[in-house]
Amino acid sequence: MRALIITTEVQAAIKAAIERARQKPIPVEYLQAAEVHGRVIPLAERKPGFERGTASENVLIPVGYRAAISFEQQPPGLCRHLSVSVDTPGKLPNEPAVLMIMKPSA
């Protein structure tokens, strides 16, 4: 299991990313279409490093974590979206780390 270091600086970076993302919500039409440049891209076809057309706000968190934060216009209203990844291909973050990353963004 890798270490997760959430300093006051990391907490501030997460909060700043949330505010930047809140200022540019992803339109519901973009989400409903599930398209990138006019073509639906299934997960199985996404190449390493794939980025969707509308960028999330990203925060790099020691040691080897990345949090991508966006706000999405959904039919019920504005929803916050968090995606957490690690820098090792084929690996996923562990649940306690994701929960800790979520906490500063509450």
Structure tokens belonging to residue 85: 């990844």
pLDDT for the residue 106: 45
pLDDT at 87: 94
Residue 89 belongs to a domain = yes
Q: Within a domain: residue 13? A: yes
In the predicted model, residues of the chain with pLDDT beneath 50 are 105-106
Total structural domains in the chain? 1
Q: What is the model's pLDDT at position 18? A: 94
20 domain-assigned: yes
For residue 40, being part of any structural domain is answered with: no
Residue 39 has a pLDDT of: 64
| Residue-number span of the structural domain to which 73 is assigned | 8-26+55-105
- If you write DSSP's letter for every residue of 3-36 in order, what string do you get? -----HHHHHHHHHHHHHHHTSPBPHHHHHHTEE
- Report the alpha-carbon angle 101-104-106, nearest 5: 105
pTM of structure:
0.75
59-89 pLDDT, tens per residue?
999 999 999 999 988 888 999 999 999 999 9
Amino acid at 95: E
